[in-house]
């Protein structure tokens, strides 16, 4: 009797192998984004923090035992979890889990829970489990979550320490001294500590509609994420904003004037009557009229300000009076000796090449008062014009949607 043999597809093996490789890659750590100066700062700080804490507590412990304060207990003057606390305090001083209250409160509360579990539970296995679980629960409630504090609770439970004085020394004493050194050293090396922690959501009474879009989006993402973050909210917001700015600048730097300029131009020549030019302003609601020669090269530009200067009405304060005088001047120019654009235009015109980067023109709009810049191509021929509206539209289109 013949049976059909099922041969696994090679694509199935390829997908399985690819999935295994991706799973294994999760165990490979990514590079730490810190240069040698920052690494040296952390190393020196952690060593200094442990050194000062150890020297002070060793002296205090020796003094206490000598005078009978700790005659019944041979306690360590420096507990092991302080090494982990030092890494957090000096390596990531902005981390919410590294803040002074997290270090002092987390270690102290965990030691208290460990002592209580030793007193209530007879077996070290249950004491250890209850101590760590209870410590984490209480740290959540008191907002002092500190990973090394779990080691403090476990240490107390495994050593079977039931004396509450152990919480004061060495746990509380170690934590306070380490935090004090961290505050001095981090501040001296320009790492604010304690790091101000902004609220996770908008303050009560604040109109949500008035909130910054990035703030609102960040609150929504954090709520959906629903996990303990190893970075403060304000640092996360700063990183997002900086990343958004960098991405925006990269995109903007790739734009050239030819990519955003207005190509449907309305132009006049040197001999165009001023009344006709004024009619073009009113009809098309534009703010400038490039003046070109027969070859299409720009020779000047006309703006409403040129009309006002020609009519000599800039000294009149009332707007309605200015407009009335301007209309009268245009009528006189038509009825009397014909007046053309060439007599009132601005001859000194700032232009830009079509291949010029748009980012180079933004300072001109922001600092020199330019509202429009003609764009020229080969041979100086007018090919377009960039206005403030064109720049704003380009900024909106290139803005990266990170959130």
> Domain spans of the chain?
36-188, 258-304+342-398
- pLDDT for residue 139: 97
- pLDDT for residue 72: 44
Closest CA to 373 of 345, 310, 383: 383
8 Å CB contact between 261 and 383: yes
Task: Tell me the whole-structure pTM to 2 decimals.
Answer: 0.61
Q: 244-249: list long-range contacts, CB under 8 Å, 24+ apart.
A: 244/214, 244/399, 244/400, 244/402, 244/403, 247/400, 247/402, 248/398, 248/399, 248/400, 249/359
Contact residues for 266 (Cβ-Cβ < 8 A; gap 6+): 280, 284, 286, 289
- pLDDT for residue 71: 43
| Omega of the bond leading into 170 within 30 degrees of 0 (cis) | yes
Tell me which residues of the chain have a pLDDT lower than 50. 1, 71-72, 202-206, 208-210, 402-403
Q: How far are the Cα atoms of 21, 82, 108 from residue 73, in angstroms, in the given order?
A: 53, 20, 19
Query: Which ranges in 189-293 belong to alpha helices (H)?
Result: 213-225, 233-253, 257-260, 274-284
Classify burial at 174, counting beta carbons within 10 Å of its beta carbon; exposed 0-12, middle 13-18, buried 19 or more: buried
386 SS3 class: strand
Distance CA(199)–CA(195), nearest Å, equals 13
> How many H-runs (helices) and E-runs (strands) does the chain carry?
16, 6
Helix axes 81-91, 100-120, angle to 10 degrees: 160
- pLDDT for residue 231: 77
372-376 β-sheet, strand order: 352-353, 372-376, 382-387
8 Å CB contact between 261 and 128: no
* Rg, the chain, Cα only: 37
258-304+342-398: in CATH 3.10.580.10: yes
């Amino acid at each position: 009797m013949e049976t059909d043999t099922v041969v696994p597809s090679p694509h199935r093996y390829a997908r399985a192998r690819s999935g295994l490789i991706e799973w294994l890659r999760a165990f490979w750590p990514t590079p730490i984004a810190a240069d040698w100066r920052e690494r040296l700062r952390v190393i020196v700080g952690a060593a200094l923090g442990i050194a000062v804490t150890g020297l002070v507590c060793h002296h205090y412990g020796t003094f206490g035992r000598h005078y009978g304060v700790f005659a019944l207990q041979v306690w360590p003057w420096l507990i092991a979890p302080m090494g982990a606390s030092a890494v957090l305090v000096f390596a990531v001083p902005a981390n919410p889990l590294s803040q002074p209250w997290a270090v002092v409160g987390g270690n102290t509360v965990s030691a208290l829970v460990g002592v209580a579990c030793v007193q209530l539970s007879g077996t070290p296995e249950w004491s250890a489990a209850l101590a760590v679980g209870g410590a984490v629960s209480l740290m959540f409630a008191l907002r002092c979550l500190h990973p090394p504090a779990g080691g403090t609770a476990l240490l107390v439970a495994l050593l079977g320490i039931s004396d509450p004085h152990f919480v004061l020394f060495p746990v509380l004493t170690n934590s306070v001294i380490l935090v004090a050194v961290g505050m001095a050293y981090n501040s001296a090396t320009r790492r604010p500590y304690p790091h101000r922690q902004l609220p996770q959501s908008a303050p009560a009474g604040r109109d949500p509609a008035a909130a910054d879009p990035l703030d609102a989006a960040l609150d929504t993402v954090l709520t959906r994420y629903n996990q303990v973050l190893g970075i403060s909210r304000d640092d996360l917001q700063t990183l997002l904003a900086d990343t958004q700015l960098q991405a925006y600048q990269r995109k903007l730097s790739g734009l050239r004037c030819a990519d955003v300029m207005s190509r449907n131009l309305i132009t006049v020549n040197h001999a165009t009557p001023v009344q006709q030019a004024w009619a073009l302003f009113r009809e098309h609601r534009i703010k400038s009229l490039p003046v070109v020669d027969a070859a299409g090269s720009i020779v000047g530009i006309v703006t409403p300000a040129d009309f006002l200067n020609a009519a000599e009405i800039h000294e009149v304060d009332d707007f309605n009076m200015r407009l009335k005088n301007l209309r009268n001047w245009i009528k006189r120019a038509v009825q009397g000796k014909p007046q053309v654009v060439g007599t009132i235009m601005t001859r000194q015109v700032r232009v830009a090449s079509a291949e010029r980067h748009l980012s180079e023109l933004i300072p001109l709009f922001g600092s020199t008062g330019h509202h429009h810049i003609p764009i020229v191509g080969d041979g100086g021929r007018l090919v377009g014009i960039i206005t403030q509206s064109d720049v704003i539209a380009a900024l909106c289109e290139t803005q990266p949607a990170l959130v």
